[in-house]
Structure 1
Amino acid sequence: MSNNSISVADAAQNLSEKTGAIATQAQGWITNNGVDILIAAAIGIAIALALLGVRALGCRMVGRVTPGADPRWPILFAKVVAKTNLFFIVLCSAQLVAEHAETPPAILQAINFLFVIAATIQAAIWAREFILGYIQHRAGVDDEHSTLSSAMGIVRLLVTVALFAVAIVVILDNLGVNVTGLIAGLGIGGIAIGLAAQGIFSDLFAALSIIFDRPFRRGDTITFGTFTGTVEKIGLKSTRIRALNGEQVVVSNTNLLNMQLQNFAPLQQRRAVMLFGVTYQIAPDLMARIGQELKAIVERQPDASFDRCHAFQFGASSIDYELVFHVQGSDFTAFADVRQAVMIEMMRRFAELGIDFAYPTQVSFTAAPDGRLVMPYPHVRMLAEGECGNEEGAGSAGANGSDRG
């Protein structure tokens, strides 16, 4: 117990002696280098005012930004500059003029020590602001309809903890502390946490992939697997989608990105492909005229553009056609209205031209006694009528003969 008291007393005495020596050196330095110190102070104040002016300019640029607007690169750098600390500005100015006027080594060492701490912390603050600002720039998280507004809290926490942990290690290393064990401990702890929360971190990085790759946003209509719905919320671990039937589908971000997605939000036009068939009784001239007639019908519709229309095969009971046209816009209801209008106009125009739509039919042929294929009903009726006429003629002839007889 006495040894501890003696060591503490010795340390206090050594600190007092060093402080007194520094004070004595500072007093002598000020006395002998007054003019040089004033010049250095003036230069340092000028540097500090210049840095304060740059920070004020950054704050002014940030203040002009409309809330919720997508931050551009100049605004992003302005936000970084606006986070400059006054303590760092003062120590930066002191560091730049510290070697002027034969500064005593003790004072110079103290300034270097404080500058390292201030610069390291300031670098961590700048890096944090830049990373978070870049994420906001990519995702537009200031908007209430942002991609990952609910996940930004944990993203800020992770970025802050990581950057300031690195800053603390750098400061301790500059103080002469052996940080090898600390770095090893942080690495082992990070691996343990990563293994324990592997699923959470997997979904978190998937959420970050949604930010940078932007496969979809909140409000987009997407199709994945067998589901189609509107994205309602993108969270830290899962995404909630409102299906067409009204139910809410919750999918983890990792599983969602592993699927093939169809996003209808960037859709600028919809393509309609209509297959139809006409009967084989159509005249060749009408057959060649169908494409022009359908082109005129499509071009009369609003926001519709004709692509092509051709006969492409002889079907089992029809001559098959393919009509292709486009409708500008992503609204499916408007697209369906145009497609229905085209179908109605087709039926009207085909009726005027005498073109019949084909439907599955089957015609039976029978063989005559000599083996020739004949159609059954028309020829049978004609044959029956002829036989009946012959019988009537024979009967009347017989009757006349009998009368004559």
Structure 2
Amino acid sequence: MSNVNAAVANTADTVSVTPQLIAGQARRLWIDSIDWLQGHWLQILVAVAVATIIVLALAALKSWGKRYCERQPVITGWSGVFGRAIARTNSFFMVMIAAKLVEGYADAPAAVSATVNFLFTVAAVFQAAIWVREIVLGMVEARTQTDRHGAEALGTAMGLIRLLVTFAVFAIALIVVLDNLGVNVTGLVAGLGVGGIAIGLAAQGIFADLFAALSIIFDKPFRRGDSISYDTTSGSIEEIGLKSTRIRSFQGEERIISNKQLLDKEIQNNTKRDHRRAKFVIGVTYQTPPETCARIPALLQEIVEAHDKSFVRAGFTGFGASSLDFEVEFDSPTADYASFYDGRTAVGIAILKRFNDDGIEIAYPTQTTFTAAPDGTLVMPYPQVQPVRQIDDGGAGD
């Protein structure tokens, strides 16, 4: 039993951290550093000179980044993105680069080398996290600054995006640092994964609409003010929000639909039309002579071109139940709906007038009933009425 207690005591002495232990290791580090400086002063001077030049170059680059951001506060391209990232370079990171160069070239002792490697790892990883965050956020802003409406829509989401990006990159940076220091990060990674899944499941609707909003802002299937159609709804985009899009329908009411649900539909962007197409289906009576029917396609083309429309096609389409069917298609030269609407009305009235002038009768649904005689021959529905003969009764009524 005494041997076990002694072993436990020895183990406790080995792992315990006391002020005396810290002071001893600090003294050892100081002595090793003095010996190193005395034995490698020339290499250290050369390394310090090179490191100073590198630090000054990095400081000048950082200063340029700050001046560039001051001249162009609004990010509009890759130069602005990288300029802002460079401006966020940390001075501690630049110093540790210099220290790493000195330590590697001048053959530093183990204690000094371990200390420099530890500090350099921390500085490099977190500096990389800062750069990644600034580049990602800069890309998001640069993508939307060219579109004023996109920038307005992004303004409400930017705070949440910045929080999510910052949390993600610095969580990864912390794990990388701990892993390089020999810490077992398996439990931490598992905990973050479980927490992320829980948060994602709890807020999956919000995140889905948020990413859909970003997709609308970046991909630009439509913008604020565009006229769109989906399902049976048509209207103009009034606002693209963080969770939903507001559409003013042509009937006057405001329709609100979630961003994810809207992107799941087939959307027609009427604002991006380069023309509008109209089609008329016209039926003439079966009594119309074939020669007249043959002239109808050319006649329709003449009417369309007389109204400055782009003629597409016209022709006979089939034998209807009570009409010979023709159709004509033509395009409006612009996408303006009002102009298209008025032009379609004018062409339709002109067709009606020309058909009336040429004696071409437009058919309407008709049905004729025939009566069969006992011998199977057809009898017209309105046979000739026989005249009624007056019978003379010879004055019997007198």
Q: For this structure pair, what is the TM-score category when the shorter chain's length is used for normalisation?
A: 0.7 to 0.9
- The alignment status of 1:100 with 2:109, answered yes or no, reads no
Relative to structure 1, the CA distance from residue 242 to residue 19 in structure 2 (aligned partners, 3 Å threshold; closer, same or farther) is same
Native 8 Å contact 1:278 1:356 kept in 2: yes
SS of 2:183's partner is coil
CA distance in 2 between counterparts of 1:348 and 1:242 reads 38
> Could you tell me the TM-score, scaled by structure 1's length?
0.78
- Distance change in 2, residues 1:352/1:92 (3 Å): farther
Q: Is the 8 A contact 2:281 2:327 kept in 1?
A: yes
Give the alignment partner of residue 130 of structure 1, picking from 124, 129, 135.
135
Comparing 222-231 and 329-338, the one that deviates more: 222-231
Deviations 1:81-102 (A, max 9, x none): 4433333233223323431123
CA distance in 2, matches of 1:299, 1:56: 66
How far off is 1:13 after superposition? 3.2
Whether contact under 8 Å (2:282, 2:325) holds in the other structure is yes
| TM-aligned CA distance change 1:55 to 1:278, over 3 Å | farther
Superimposed CA distance per residue, residues 319-371 of structure 1 (whole angstroms, 9 cap, x where no aligned partner)? 21111112233321121122112123323333443333333344566789998
For the residues of structure 2 that align with 1:294 and 1:88, how far apart are their CA atoms? 78
For the residues of structure 1 that align with 2:349 and 2:73, how far apart are their CA atoms? 50
Alignment partner for residue 163 of structure 1, among 165, 169, 175? 169
Paired residues of 2:44 and 2:102 also in contact (CA < 8 A): no
Number of positions where the alignment pairs a residue of Structure 1 with one of Structure 2: 373
Aligned to 2:316: 311
CA distance in 1, matches of 2:177, 2:313: 71
Matched with 2:275 is 269
Contact 2:144–2:150 (CA<8 Å) still a contact in 1? no
Q: Secondary structure at the match of 1:242?
A: strand
Q: Is the 8 A contact 2:121 2:177 kept in 1?
A: yes
Counterpart of 1:233 in 2: which secondary structure?
strand
Instruction: Name the residue aligned to 1:390.
Output: none
- Aligned amino acid, residue 151 of structure 1: A
CA distance in 2, matches of 1:173, 1:85: 22
User: Alignment RMSD, CA only?
Assistant: 3.6
* 1:66–1:274 CA distance, 2 compared to 1 (3 A): farther
What does residue 37 of structure 2 align with? 30
Match of 1:242 in 2: 248
1:45 maps to: 52
* Match runs of 1:322-341 below 5 Å: 322-341=327-346
Tell me: CA distance 1:142–1:380, structure 2 relative to 1, closer, same or farther (3 Å): closer
Taking only the aligned residue pairs, the percentage that are identical comes to 48
Equivalent residues in 2 for 1:89-238, closer than 5 Å: 89-140=94-145, 143-146=148-151, 148-211=154-217, 213-238=219-244
SS of aligned partner of 1:355 = coil
2:17 is the alignment partner of 1:17: no
For residues 145 and 131 of structure 1, do their structure 2 counterparts lie closer, same or farther at Cα, with a shift above 3 Å needed?
closer
**Whole-Å separation in 2 of the counterparts to 1:253 and 1:143:** 19
Q: Which deviations, in whole Å up to 9, do the C-alpha atoms of 1:15-60 show, x marking residues without a partner?
A: 3333333333333433443332222122112223333454455556
Distance 1:16 1:224, change over 3 A: same
Unpaired segments of 5 or more residues in structure 2?
Answer: 1-12, 388-398
Q: Secondary structure at the match of 2:156?
A: coil
Counterpart of 1:348 (choices 343, 346, 353) is: 353
Give structure 1 stretches of 5+ with no counterpart.
Answer: 1-5, 385-405
- Give me the whole-angstrom Cα distance separating, in 2, the residues matched to 1:333 and 1:240: 23
Take 2:147 and 2:376, find their aligned partners in 1: how far apart are those partners?
Answer: 86
Conserved? CA contact 1:79–1:129, under 8 Å: yes
CA distance in 2, matches of 1:65, 1:357: 68
Contact 1:141/1:149 (<8 A) preserved = no
Tell me, in whole angstroms, the C-alpha distance in 2 between the residues paired with 1:106 and 1:273. Answer: 86
Taking the aligned partners of 2:181 and 2:41, their CA distance within structure 1 comes to 31
Q: Which amino acid aligns with 1:290?
A: I
Counterpart AA for 1:93: A
Contact 2:237/2:246 (<8 A) preserved = yes
- Do the aligned partners of 1:136 and 1:142 also contact (CA within 8 Å) in 2? no
Q: CA deviation at 1:208?
A: 4.0
Q: 1:248 to 1:28 in 2, by over 3 A?
A: same
2:286 and 2:324 in contact (8 A); partners too = yes
**Contact map agreement 2:150 2:217 (CA 8 A) in 1:** no
Whether the aligned pair in 1 keeps the contact of 2:129 and 2:170 (CA below 8 Å) is yes
Judging changes above 3 Å, is the alpha-carbon distance between structure 1 residues 87 and 232 closer, same or farther for their aligned structure 2 residues? Answer: farther
| Structure 1 pair 351–123 and aligned structure 2 pair: CA distance change class (3 A) | same
Specify the code of the residue in structure 1 equivalent to 2:203: A
- Residues 194/277 of structure 1: CA separation in 2 closer, same or farther (3 Å cut): same
The 10-residue stretch of structure 1 (365-374 or 257-266) with the greater mean CA deviation from structure 2: 365-374
